[in-house]
Amino acid sequence: MHQTPPASALGRIPRVNVEIRGLNMAYGEAWHRQQVITDLDLDVPAGQMTVVIGPSGCGKSTLVNIIAGFEKPDSGIVRVDGQPVTGPGHDRMVVFQETALMPWLTVRQNVSFGPQLRGEMDRATLRAEADRLIDKVGLREFKDKYPLQLSGGMQRRAELARAMINQPKLMIMDEPFRGLDAMSRELMQEFFLKLFEENRRTNLFVTSEIDEAIFLADRLVVLSTRPATVRSVIEIDLPRPRTYAMLASEKAFDYKREALDILHQEAMKSFKMGSGQSDFLEAYAKRAQ
């Protein structure tokens, strides 16, 4: 039940398909290799929010690094609109778990940094575009502040503006709201979702929080325990725009139960193999009550 998105205030948003085929990745020397990802196939449809969730330590961040081009897989391929990923590029922007804002630059300078470095805009155009995006993320009064003068939620907003100014084909979010307090996290989820529903840029969002996953996702991809492969893809048929009240619906509860059942099975496998998933099992027990 996906509605046609409105014309975006951000201009023409490039929308791309991402194809991942036969991905394999291991770390360590030849005599002690640890397989992290095995035979992973995944599609990230254009204009949708694809959310990836899996047991702790299953290889989610490794998958992010491969798609972003920061690491090369042992085998397999990642294609963005049919073009193989061979390294990093500003067509794929990552917002990480930890802030990557440069502390010696103001918010405006941080947002402007990428295009300025590449010489893509004249100074006046870049300043106007940076200010427009800073306004868009609600930081108008903070554009001349430094990162350490901002709250955690404000830093996340500045990072979104810094990513969006590059007009990426794919936004990759690697647990971007982890570490925020509960209230700030919910506010950032709502804020981020509003931005997505306005422009429908192709998004890959990685999280360990099942409620966050269901609230955001068009498609929920559940990974196995390490070595990671795709266990299930759940189509989240909740209307947009989304509200938190929808998480109390019977349909949302069914999605949550389905995903948690799979995650529990995978966590138990890992636990029996001795890698230890007691933190996940405790969280699962609480959520299942």
Question: Can you give 179-207 as a three-state secondary structure string?
Answer: CCCHHHHHHHHHHHHHHHHHHCCEEEEEC
Q: Is the pLDDT of residue 101 over 70?
A: yes
Tell me phi and psi for residue 237, to 5 degrees. -95, 65
Residue 274 inside a domain? The answer is yes
Q: 220 near 213, Cβ under 8 Å?
A: yes
Choosing from 148, 167, 186, the residue where a domain stops is 167
Q: 199 or 30, which is more confident?
A: 199
My answer on whether 63 and 203 are in the same domain is yes
Same domain, 188 and 278: yes
Closest CA to 219 of 95, 23, 61, 48: 48
Residue 284 carries which side chain, given as an amino acid letter?
A: Y
Of the pLDDT bands very low, low, confident and very high (cuts 50, 70, 90), residue 91 is confident
Residues 188 and 269 in one domain: yes
Among residues 151, 167, 183, the one where a domain terminates is 167
Whether 116 maps to a domain, the answer reads: yes
- 158 and 200 share one domain: no
- 42-90, pLDDT tens digit by residue? 999 999 999 999 988 888 999 999 999 999 999 999 999 889 999 998 8
Residues 278 and 159 in one domain: no
Assess if residue 197 is contained within a domain: yes
First to last CA, the chain: 30
Q: What is the mean pLDDT of residues 204-218?
A: 95
Band the pLDDT of 28: cuts 50, 70, 90: confident
Strands (E) located in 99-249: 170-174, 202-206, 219-223, 230-235
Helix, strand, coil % (nearest 5) of the chain?
40, 20, 35
Q: Token pair for residue 183?
A: 């209230």
In a domain, 96, yes or no: no
Residue 272, helix vs strand vs coil: helix
Cβ neighbours of residue 32 closer than 8 Å, sequence gap 6 or more: none
Q: Are 92 and 74 in contact (CB under 8 A)?
A: no
Verify that 269 and 129 share a domain, yes or no.
no
111-151 pLDDT tens trace = 999 888 888 788 899 999 999 999 988 899 999 999 999 99
In a domain, 13, yes or no: no
Q: What percent of the chain has pLDDT over 90?
A: 55
Among 131, 150, 167, the domain-final residue is: 167
Q: Which structural domain, as residue segments, surrounds residue 108?
A: 102-167
DSSP state of 59: S
pTM: 0.84
7 falls within a domain: no
Q: What's the number of domains the chain is made of?
A: 2
CATH of residue 60: 3.40.50.300
Residues 58 and 131 in one domain: no
Same domain, 214 and 265: yes
Token look-up 């991905």 returns 23
Considering the domain boundaries, does residue 11 fall inside one?
Answer: no
More confident residue, 130 or 10: 130
Within a domain: 6: no
Q: Mark whether 261 and 143 lie in a shared domain.
A: no
Residues 67, 52 share a domain: yes
Query: Do 161 and 179 sit in the same domain of this protein?
Result: no
Same domain, 126 and 215: no
